[in-house]
Structures are given as C-alpha cells and as structure tokens.
C-alpha cells in the first residue's frame, strides 16, 4: 500500500532547501467516530435484479495539523468498515489518506506539496467523478502534487501546479491508467479588492493500455465578491484533445520465404483530434442561518474503460441552522456524460437528491438522518435503460475535542 506521511513533506523541504527548519509550532489533533445503520434497496445500482440489504458502517477518522509562522502541514486519515446483513460478498474496508503542506519561502514566493491514497469502490467514486454507473469493484488511487505561487507585483500573481495520479482497478472490464496534469495561472486583483481576473493554461495526460489522451486547455476566469457574504466566480475556455486509441487485429501478411499469405495479429493505433469548450461557474453565499452553493462544470474526463467523455455537471447544496441544536441540509446533482470518440458508446444522464437533518446531542456529538435518491438513464441500452437507487441511514457522530500541543 502506498501512503503519504508528514515526514515525506518535511524531508522534501529539508532536501530542496538546506536552511529549512520546522521550528516551534502549534500541533492539533482531532479524532472522530461515526456509527451508521443503513438500508440500501439497490446495492450495486443495477438496472435489473436489484439486491437490497441492511448494512452497518463504522468510520474512525482523524485530522492533524502543524502550523508555524512559515509552514502549514495538515493531514487526514479515515477508514470505512462496511458489513452487510445478508450480502456478505460486498463487505469491504475503505481507506482514505490525504496530506497538504504550504511553505512561505520568501515574502513573494510560496510552495506547496501534498498527496493522497484512496482505496474505495468504482461505484461511488466513478459515479461522483464521471456521472457513470460502474460495477461495484475495488479501486485504488495514489496521487502526488506540488506547486508554487509567486507575487509579481502588488496586484499580479502567478502560480504553477503539477499533479500525478495512478489509478488501479480490481474488477474485469476496467483499465488501469496514469494521469499527469500541469496547470498555470496568472491572476490580477483589482484595487477595489472585489474583482479578480485569471488566465489559466492547462495540460492533462491520461495513459492506459487502451488509449493515450493529451488535453490542452486555455481558460479565462473572473471572480467577484458581490458582497461580504456572496461570491461569484466563472471560468470559460477552449480545449484541444489529441487521442491515440490502441487495438489489435489480424492483417494479411506475405511471407517471401514460403511465398504464401497468412493472417498476423498486429497492434494498431487510431488518432483523433477534437476541439471543445470548458466551463466552471459557481455562486456561494451565507447569512446568519444559511450557507448555500451552486456550481456548473463542463470538462473532459477519463473513465475506467479508458475512454474520454464530455461531462456536464450541475450541483447545489444548502445548509440551514434551524436552531442552536437542530440543522438541516439538502444537496442535489445532475450529470450528462457522453463519449468524446467513435470507439465507445457512453451516453447517459444521472441525478441525485440528498436531504439530511442533524441534531446536536451534546457539544461534540450529533445524531444525523440522511436520505439519498439516485436515478440514471443509459441511452445505449434498448431495455431497462432507466433505473434508481434509494438509501437511508441513521448515524451517530462523535467529534472529540481538539488536542493541542
């Protein structure tokens, strides 16, 4: 198992900057536990012969942070132990680890580095990323990232971020792949301190045994603080995608020695170029009792089958503090996913509705009730093309007081 730890980040800064010293700082540690009883009427989100069951979920987690005048390091670790009452073949243990760090090297230059390791399922993770329903198999993803931010002048900033990802699947029909991304940004902040303009070039590469996809993009963004509690940001851009698809086929071959033709299996490559648009528009706001956010995102993403897709995603959430102890919330999302090439046939829509309510039992302990309805339509199917999933769970959440050093 690949994991990322605090010592890796500290070692990185110590190696690159010999004068680097951790120095005195504040350390915080915040553990929590969650016990959940859940009913799921379609465990695998299947379009026929749906399996339903009760399950118990135990989630221990922790957050830790170290902060000095120049260095911030924070990390999270979480396990999710899932046990079904009858469908024991779906019992599993998920793991999630993340770490982030930022170092102020000089007055103008700041560096950051981080990483993550996730072991979960294709059903939940791929659905959130692509809007496509996949089979319930295990997925592992390891990521590393690093970047820098430099202040060119009082109002002009530049930044650069590199990220590497390695995704592996344990089920049939899925394709392991590596990903690389390079994202730059030139940011101009207006003197009114409310408006910002962004110019963002980007490059993404996805590589597997099925295809290699190079995606080049350029976006122009604008952010405005409409008021102290309301912010609007938008990015609009163009992308050019160059894709190579690999396949094997039998081709007739002439053997000069025997003077005969025979069929030989050869690897072939098909290349395709494509131009498209990208967008990311979000509105977030809050007042004394409400916090809300709306977002629209259009981009090219990569699926577990090794194919690029165009994905449109609309999401929204609202949280409401009804009383000092009682709070409620509602989340919703709508996805449209369609193949970007002629070699896969993905064309689907997916939406979910997620109302929830929480009661503060004690200062750090909560009782939560959630309901999640999900529906998908697969236009590539001739029958049973629309199907749904209902989940309801009751959770006890124990947030322990922060430990300070």
Kind and range of the H or E run holding 348: strand 347-360
Q: Do 122 and 174 contact (CB within 8 A), yes or no?
A: yes
**Quick one: 78 exposed, middle or buried, by C-beta within 10 A (0-12, 13-18, 19+)?**
middle
Please check the confidence at residue 1 and state whether its pLDDT lies above 70.
Answer: no
Q: Is residue 235 part of a domain?
A: yes
Kind and range of the H or E run holding 9: helix 6-16
pLDDT in the model for residue 317: 97
Give 32-78 pLDDT, tens digit per residue: 999 999 999 999 999 999 999 999 999 999 999 999 999 999 999 99
Please check the confidence at residue 264 and state whether its pLDDT lies above 90.
Answer: no
**Which SS3 state, helix, strand or coil, does residue 309 take?**
strand
Q: Which domain holds residue 334?
A: 6-244+279-404
Q: 94: which strand partners? A: 80
Model confidence at 344, pLDDT cuts 50, 70, 90, reads confident
- Strand 211-227 and strand 230-255: the pairing is antiparallel
The CA distance from 256 to 269, in Å, is 26
As a whole number, mean pLDDT of residues 143-151 equals: 97
The CA distance from 313 to 352, in Å, is 12
Q: Which of 130-134, 146-150, 268-272 has the lowest mean pLDDT?
A: 268-272
Reading the block at residue 84, the tokens are: 């079904």
The CA distance from 167 to 106, in Å, is 36
Reading the block at residue 250, the tokens are: 């039998």
Q: Where are the beta strands (DSSP E) in 228-346?
A: 230-255, 260-286, 290-302, 308-321, 326-339
pLDDT in the model for residue 262: 67
As a whole number, mean pLDDT of residues 214-238 equals: 95
Model confidence at 258, pLDDT cuts 50, 70, 90, reads confident
Q: Is residue 251 part of a domain?
A: no
The CA distance from 349 to 335, in Å, is 5
Reading the block at residue 386, the tokens are: 């629309």
Q: Is residue 262 part of a domain?
A: no
Please check the confidence at residue 4 and state whether its pLDDT lies above 50.
Answer: no
Place of tokens 């706001």: 285
DSSP state of 170: -
Q: Which of 99-113, 245-259, 263-277, 348-362 has the lowest mean pLDDT?
A: 245-259
**Quick one: 255 exposed, middle or buried, by C-beta within 10 A (0-12, 13-18, 19+)?**
exposed
Q: Is residue 74 part of a domain?
A: yes
Of 137, 134, 206, nearest to 166 (Cα)? 206
Q: Do 152 and 113 contact (CB within 8 A), yes or no?
A: no
CATH number at 347 reads: 2.40.160
Q: Is residue 268 part of a domain?
A: no
Q: Where are the beta strands (DSSP E) in 21-137?
A: 26-40, 53-67, 71-84, 92-104, 109-121
pLDDT in the model for residue 24: 62
Q: Which of 22-26, 260-264, 287-291 has the lowest mean pLDDT?
A: 22-26
Give 97-130 pLDDT, tens digit per residue: 999 999 999 999 999 999 999 999 999 999 999 9
Reading the block at residue 110, the tokens are: 């700041």
Q: Is residue 258 part of a domain?
A: no
pLDDT in the model for residue 39: 97
As a whole number, mean pLDDT of residues 143-167 equals: 96
pLDDT in the model for residue 405: 60
Model confidence at 403, pLDDT cuts 50, 70, 90, reads low
Q: Is residue 55 part of a domain?
A: yes
Q: Is residue 273 part of a domain?
A: no
Q: 251: which strand partners? A: 264
Of 186, 134, 128, 185, nearest to 162 (Cα)? 185
Number of domains the chain is built from: 1
As a whole number, mean pLDDT of residues 147-171 equals: 95
Q: Do 174 and 141 contact (CB within 8 A), yes or no?
A: no
As a whole number, mean pLDDT of residues 287-312 equals: 93
The CA distance from 364 to 351, in Å, is 33
Model confidence at 283, pLDDT cuts 50, 70, 90, reads very high
Q: Record the pTM.
A: 0.86
């Amino acid at each position: 198992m690949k994991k990322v730890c605090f010592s890796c980040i500290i070692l990185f800064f110590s190696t690159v900057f010999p004068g680097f010293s951790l120095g005195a700082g504040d350390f915080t540690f915040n553990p929590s536990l969650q016990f959940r009883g859940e009913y799921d009427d379609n465990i695998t989100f299947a379009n026929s012969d749906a399996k339903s069951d009760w399950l118990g979920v135990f989630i221990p987690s922790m957050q830790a942070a170290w902060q000095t005048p120049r260095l911030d390091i924070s990390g999270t670790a979480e396990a999710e132990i899932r046990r079904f009452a009858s469908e024991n073949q779906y019992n599993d243990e998920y793991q999630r680890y993340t770490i982030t760090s930022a170092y102020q090297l000089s007055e103008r230059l700041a560096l950051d580095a981080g990483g993550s390791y996730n072991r979960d399922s294709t059903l939940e993770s791929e659905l959130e990323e692509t809007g496509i329903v996949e089979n319930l198999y295990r997925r592992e993803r390891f990521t590393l990232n690093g970047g820098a931010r430099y202040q060119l002048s009082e109002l002009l900033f530049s930044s650069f971020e590199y990220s590497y990802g390695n995704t592996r699947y344990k089920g049939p029909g899925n394709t392991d792949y590596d990903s690389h991304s390079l994202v730059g940004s030139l940011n101009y902040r207006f003197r009114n301190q409310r408006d910002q303009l962004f110019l963002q070039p980007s490059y993404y590469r996805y590589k597997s045994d099925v295809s290699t996809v190079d995606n080049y993009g350029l976006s122009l963004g604008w952010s405005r603080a409409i008021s102290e509690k309301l912010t609007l940001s938008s990015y609009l851009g163009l992308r050019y995608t160059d894709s190579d698809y690999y396949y094997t086929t039998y081709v007739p071959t002439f053997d000069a020695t025997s003077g005969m033709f025979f069929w030989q299996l050869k690897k072939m490559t098909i290349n395709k170029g494509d131009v498209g648009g990208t967008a990311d528009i979000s509105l977030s706001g809050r007042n004394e009792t409400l916090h809300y956010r709306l977002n629209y995102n259009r981009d090219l993403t990569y699926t577990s089958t090794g194919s690029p897709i165009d994905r449109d995603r609309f999401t929204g959430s609202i949280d409401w503090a009804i009383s000092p102890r009682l709070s409620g919330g509602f989340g919703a999302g709508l996805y449209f996913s369609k193949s970007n090439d002629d070699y896969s046939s993905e064309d689907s829509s997916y939406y979910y509705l997620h109302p929830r309510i929480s009661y503060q039992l004690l200062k750090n302990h909560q009782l939560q009730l959630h309901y999640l309805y999900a529906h998908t339509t697969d236009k590539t199917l001739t029958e049973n093309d629309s199907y749904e999933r209902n989940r309801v769970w009751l959770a006890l959440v124990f947030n322990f007081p922060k430990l300070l050093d």
